[in-house]
Amino acid sequence: MADNSSQVPTNRLSRFTGLATLAGRVAGGMLAEGARQLAQGNRPSSKSMLLTPANIKRVTDQLAHMRGAAMKMGQLLSMDSGELLPAELTELLARLRANANPMPAKQLSQVLRQELGEDWQQHFADFSFKPMAAASIGQVHQAYHDNGDKLAVKIQYPGVKTSIDSDVDNVASLLKLSGLIPAEVEYQSLLTEAKKQLKNEADYLQEAHYLQRYRQYLASDDAFLVPEVYPALSSANILVMSYVAGEPIETLQAAPQAERDRVLGLMFSLFFRELFEFKLVQTDPNFANYLYNRQSQQLVLLDFGACRDYSEQITNGYRALFACACDNDFAGMEQALTKIGFFSQNILAAQKTAVLNLVELACEPLRQSSAFDFGQSDLALRLRQAGTALSMQQNYWHSPPADALFLHRKIAGLYLLAARIGARVNVRQLLEPYLH
């Protein structure tokens, strides 16, 4: 098998050069494709020029090599399909959800020595140098503790923290250059929020703290399995946890209907508990953050880097929003959205109506008193189209408040997963206890 590991570029200049070169090559690729199509008598669209196989490969290869914020930013944006980006760009960025290239063993040893000392191996009875997974900010290795416990060791790529600001700005420049984000779009506030979120995710001590909070919240609930932190071996760049077994959540596609329904029901009920009880939400909807353990029939929760605390005002705003959506109360929905922080900028009456229609559409499963069949519904597609129409036709590029944006990503991710595995869930019934 070919070794696809690659040294993570750690200094700002090499990272900037990487992205600048990429932007130039993508633009060059677009021009070449445009000229080719003109020569054939076709009038090229920006979509056909951008989405050539060569360009897709350039972008995904470069960002997979850089890892860190550049890749995470691509993943973040690709999850916000209808909310902010044109479909062409979403399609391009969606390729980034695959694994990153792992670090070579030499660079990995260097990080372990820096974090755990020259004799770092004394902490483990066994340590596997081949990663189980390589993602945007770090990679995960299997190991055994001296006491025999099986461990999962998450190790951050070097230089990720210090490169976040410049990486995010560079990716923004790349997107602007592609011409797919209209020149008038004000997305600076979203970039600021992305930087803040990424810095949180790159702090493994913070993640360990969130992980311990979830273990406490779910201690008496046997339906969930949450790893245990080993604080003595963890630092801001290394997170050592107990190893938890499970299969990728998508494997439920082949499970009996009742099992699919039960597991997705667990995910929706957990989301409502997060929002209304814990006031702490794990906002990253990536499918890889969940496993399913068939033996114990437990839902395994992984990766708590993207957790976000929610204020009483926001949670009460959503309680009111969901209650009004269930009753088709448009005036009440508008009031609730205003309380959450929408409509704070100048907005035309038609745009406000379009936002309310979009939210009403998103609440479709809540208005049904029986199980909603996600597998048979085209809700995700309709949401995507309505979001794109709002931004492109209504010219409404006002970003929702950050708290809302991350929450909506999570809800969209749940809908997407429920549709992927064909689950039927009575969402209204799960929400009901929190509305009164």
pLDDT tens-digit series, residues 149-178: 999 999 998 888 888 887 777 777 766 665
The closest alpha carbon to 238, from 122, 113, 154, 143, belongs to 154
Distance CA 303, CA 249 (A): 14
- Percentage of the chain beyond pLDDT 70 is 69
pLDDT at 137: 81
- Residue 89 pLDDT class (50, 70, 90 cuts): low
Residue 83 has pLDDT above 50, yes or no: no
Instruction: Give CA 228 to chain center in angstroms.
Output: 23
pLDDT at 166: 79
The closest alpha carbon to 12, from 73, 71, 70, belongs to 70
3-class SS at 206? helix
The closest alpha carbon to 9, from 69, 50, 58, 54, belongs to 69
Strand partners, 241: 152, 229
Choice between 188 and 305, residue whose per-residue pLDDT is larger = 305
- Residue 74 pLDDT class (50, 70, 90 cuts): low
Residue 331 has pLDDT above 60, yes or no: yes
State both tokens at 224.
């969930």
Residue 295 neighbours by CB under 8 Å, 6+ apart: none
pLDDT at 184: 57
pLDDT at 80: 42
Residue 246 has pLDDT above 70, yes or no: yes
Average pLDDT, the chain: 80
Distance CA 204, CA 207 (A): 5
pLDDT at 192: 82
Residues labelled catalytic: 284
- Residue 81 pLDDT class (50, 70, 90 cuts): very low
Mean pLDDT, range 355-376, rounded to an integer: 93
Strand partners, 138: 156
**pLDDT single digits (tens) 7-39:** 544 554 454 444 445 555 555 544 555 555 556
pLDDT at 251: 93
pLDDT at 112: 95
Strands 224-225 and 280-282: unpaired
pLDDT at 67: 54
pLDDT at 169: 78
Choice between 217 and 400, residue whose per-residue pLDDT is larger = 217
- Residue 358 pLDDT class (50, 70, 90 cuts): confident
Identify the top-confidence range among 59-68, 162-171, 343-352, 366-375. Answer: 366-375
Residue bearing tokens 């694994």: 99
pLDDT at 366: 95
pLDDT at 275: 98
pLDDT at 2: 47
pLDDT at 92: 55
The closest alpha carbon to 116, from 235, 24, 219, 206, belongs to 235
State both tokens at 399.
């970003």
pLDDT at 221: 96
Q: Are 351 and 386 in contact (CB under 8 A)?
A: no
State both tokens at 138.
């770090």
**pLDDT single digits (tens) 95-133:** 554 445 678 889 899 999 999 999 999 999 999 999 998
Can you say whether the dihedral through the CA atoms of 81, 82, 83, 85 is positive or negative? Answer: positive
315 C-beta neighbours (distance < 10 Å), count: 21
pLDDT at 73: 56
- Residue 344 pLDDT class (50, 70, 90 cuts): confident
pLDDT at 82: 38
Choice between 64 and 371, residue whose per-residue pLDDT is larger = 371
Choice between 6 and 40, residue whose per-residue pLDDT is larger = 40
Long-range contacts of 160-163 (CB under 8 A, 24+ apart): 160/8, 160/67, 160/68, 160/69, 160/202, 161/199, 161/202, 162/12, 163/10, 163/12, 163/15, 163/68, 163/69, 163/70
pLDDT at 58: 58
Q: What is the DSSP string of 42-106?
A: ----HHHHH--HHHHHHHHHHHHHH-HHHHHHHHHHHH-HHHHS-HHHHHHHHGGGSPPPPPPHH
Residue 88 has pLDDT above 60, yes or no: no
- Percentage of the chain beyond pLDDT 90 is 47
- H or E, element range at 173: helix 160-177
101-115, 257-271, 343-357: segment of lowest average pLDDT: 343-357
pLDDT at 208: 97
Q: Are 180 and 187 in contact (CB under 8 A)?
A: no
Q: Are 22 and 174 in contact (CB under 8 A)?
A: yes
382 C-beta neighbours (distance < 10 Å), count: 15
- H or E, element range at 332: helix 330-340
pLDDT at 416: 86
Residue 230 has pLDDT above 70, yes or no: yes
Mean pLDDT, range 182-190, rounded to an integer: 63
